[in-house]
C-alpha cells in the first residue's frame, strides 16, 4: 500500500520542468499543478498548451519559452527561473 504523504511534495517547493510542452512534460505539469508549488514550465513549442496551467490551479505556474539548443540558453533558462522563483529545489 502506498503512503500518500510520500506522494505529496512539500508546500512551496520550486520545480522547473524542462520540455514541459511534450506529452510527458505536460502530464507531469498537470500532476504538479495540483499542489501548492512554484513551477516553471519550459517549452519551445505548443506554449498555449502550457499557458492553461498559469491560472486556476493550486500551483503558481509560469511558462518559460526557450530553445535550449546551446549552453548559454540553458544557463539563461535556469537563471530566469531562479530569479522569478527565488531559488530552485528540483529540475
pLDDT value at position 83? 98
| pTM exceeds cut of 0.85 | yes
Q: Which parts of the chain register pLDDT below 70?
A: 1-6
pLDDT value at position 7? 74
Cell 549552453 appears where?
71
pLDDT value at position 8? 85
Q: What is the pLDDT of residues 60-71, one digit of tens each?
A: 999 999 999 999
Q: How many CB atoms lie within 10 A of CB 1?
A: 3
CA atoms within a 13 Å half-sphere pointing along the CA-CB vector of 44: 8
pLDDT value at position 3? 55
CA distance 64 to 73: 11
Amino acid at each position: 500500500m502506498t503512503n500518500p504523504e510520500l506522494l505529496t511534495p512539500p508546500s512551496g517547493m520550486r520545480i522547473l520542468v524542462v520540455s514541459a510542452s511534450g506529452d510527458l512534460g505536460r502530464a507531469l505539469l498537470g500532476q504538479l499543478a495540483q499542489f501548492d508549488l512554484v513551477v516553471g514550465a519550459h517549452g519551445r513549442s505548443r506554449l498555449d498548451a502550457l499557458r492553461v496551467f498559469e491560472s486556476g490551479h493550486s500551483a503558481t505556474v509560469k511558462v518559460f519559452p526557450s530553445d535550449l539548443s546551446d549552453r548559454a540558453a540553458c544557463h539563461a533558462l535556469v537563471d530566469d527561473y531562479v530569479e522569478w522563483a527565488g531559488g530552485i529545489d528540483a529540475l
